[in-house]
A and B are shown apart, each in its own frame.
Chain A
Amino acid sequence: MSTKTPSRLEKILDSGQLAVTSECGPPRGSDPEAITKKAEMIKDHVDAINITDNQTSMTRLSSLASCIHLKLMGLEPTLQMVVRDRNRIALQSDILGAASFDIHNILCLSGDHQMFGDSSQGQNVFDLDSMQLIQTVRLMRDEGKFLGGDDIKRPPQMFVGAAANPFADPFEIRVPRLAKKIAAGVEFIQTQCIYNLDKFELWMKQARDRGLHEKVYILAGVTPFKSAGMAKYMKNRVPGMDVPDEVVKRMAGVPKENQPEEGVNICVETIQRLKECEGVRGFHIMAIEWEEKVPEIVERSGLYPRPKDL
């Protein structure tokens, strides 16, 4: 593969090095420091920082504005964009807005249903789905066209990503679904948080059997548990999440004050094991409201220092 955009993330992946990304959730308010402080904590340990787009359907400071704050700090953001809240006019318009600030990574998502958040009585849009958003960004970038067919002056230059959840049902279409996203034009994948490593490795094997690992960069998603309670919550309450019993037991088996450390240990062990998994090209560390732990996880996983001057 060769690079198609100015994205640093793309360059690192193209060079064959393991990439490290992380993410920051914007605040429920307009204080820019809520974003810049989080970014400051992790900036030297990651290659790009995702900004979530009203995750779990809770209204927050916008992903695009947050990405601009990162850009102004000289960092590389990945704009997460969900199709829940915007029609094709707004999606394309925000893509151009991001491109005008030279934001070079985008993650195309459907978005959690609005009933989970603070606006359960609101409308949703879903004019496009995530697959079609991938196609749209590729059309805008590669053909320099709007969906309506007109030419774009100065098209966006974005490295196009999407999510994959190897653990959602039905399992049998999880690899075909990845193939479908690749056919739509996706270039990198960040997976759902991995706790069931056996199942993830089976998914990767099936992907390799179809040669998909050579067509897309797969970043394995990890999230450290802060507590046994969080492990139980993720197991029982978060749709599409697969937390095996033994992981919950392991967290519950240590005293409360040591649970954060145990959560980080599990996370580091996961990364170390998956570094050996063929087709895993990097890691996406989602330390939810625990960004300060990202440097430790990266260092202990042997992923530090990050590449410079590509």
Chain B
Amino acid sequence: MIVADKKPIEEIIDMVKGYHKILIVGCNECVTVCEAGGKKEVGVLASALRMYFMNEGEKIEVDEITLERQCDHEYLEEIRNSIDQYDAVVSLACGVGVQFMAEKYFGTPVYPGVNTCFMGVTEERGVWSERCQGCGQCILDKTAGICPISRCAKRLLNGPCGGSTQGKCEISKDLDCAWQLIIDRLKELDRLDEYEEIAPIKDWSTERAGGPRKVVREDVRQ
């Protein structure tokens, strides 16, 4: 899933200051799972804003809605008839949802309510960690199912570096060395001899480096 983290309330207050009627829009997908932008968080943020502005003696109306997704037309269309009532929208979706909302409702200010972080997993409740950077050319078949691009701090394709210590990365004792994990798993799979194959220089043009990306699938296109 796409993992997001809450934005400090002060930042959101600064964004919406001066508006009289705002809509907070949650998303029922990834940000719900990582407890940053689902229905529950929409409710908490709306209450916090109402309380803040009431204490400041300012009148502001805050409405709430949570859509199934904010990265598809059909769900964003659900607010088409009500959007004009609002001076601004705070979207608690990931950066994708915020932008799609802004594209669709061109004349309405749309503000981000979360910080979008990475594609990752729930390690345990309250702990999420990165697994993929979407490089566009998956190499997990070569690295025992563990991605050095997203999990090695230097994205080394031929690691580990000299800083790997007791299974941990040189940048933090709380971070596993991806190459230690790869080697452990190669060993488990009885494939350790593959370690000595040199990974070739990567074509990064399918990654961010190649500019904004697009997938076009003629087979499913209508």
A interface residues (Cβ-Cβ under 8 A, vs B): 84, 88, 110-113, 115-116, 124, 126-132, 135-136, 147, 163-165, 168-170, 172-173, 176-177, 179-180, 183-184, 192, 239-240
Residues in B with CB closer than 8 Å to A176 are 195-196
Question: Most B CB atoms within 10 A — which of A116, A147, A173?
Answer: A173
A184 and B196 contact, Cβ closer than 8 Å, known pairs A169-B165, A169-B177, A240-B164: no
Is the CB–CB distance between A113 and B171 below 8 Å? yes
Asked whether B157 is an interface residue with its Cβ less than 8 Å from the other chain, the reply is: yes
Is the CB–CB distance between A168 and B171 below 8 Å? no
Is the CB–CB distance between B154 and A129 below 8 Å? yes
B interface residues (Cβ-Cβ under 8 A, vs A): 153-167, 170-171, 177, 180, 183-184, 195-196, 198-201, 204
- A and B contact pairs by CB, cutoff 8 A, 24 listed: A84-B154, A110-B156, A124-B154, A126-B154, A126-B155, A126-B156, A128-B201, A129-B154, A130-B158, A130-B161, A131-B199, A132-B201, A135-B201, A163-B162, A164-B162, A168-B165, A169-B165, A169-B166, A169-B177, A170-B164, A170-B183, A180-B195, A192-B162, A240-B164
Is the CB–CB distance between A239 and B170 below 8 Å? yes
Is the CB–CB distance between A110 and B161 below 8 Å? yes
Is the CB–CB distance between B163 and A240 below 8 Å? yes
Interface residue SS majority, chain B = loop
In angstroms, Cα B170 to Cα A171, docked, is 16
Residues in B with CB closer than 8 Å to A184 are 198
Residues in B with CB closer than 8 Å to A110 are 154, 156, 161-162
In angstroms, Cα B163 to Cα A165, docked, is 9
In angstroms, Cα B196 to Cα A19, docked, is 29
Min CB–CB distance A162 → chain B (angstroms)? 11
Is the CB–CB distance between A131 and B167 below 8 Å? no
Is the CB–CB distance between A112 and B163 below 8 Å? yes
Is the CB–CB distance between B201 and A183 below 8 Å? no
Min CB–CB distance B56 → chain A (angstroms)? 33
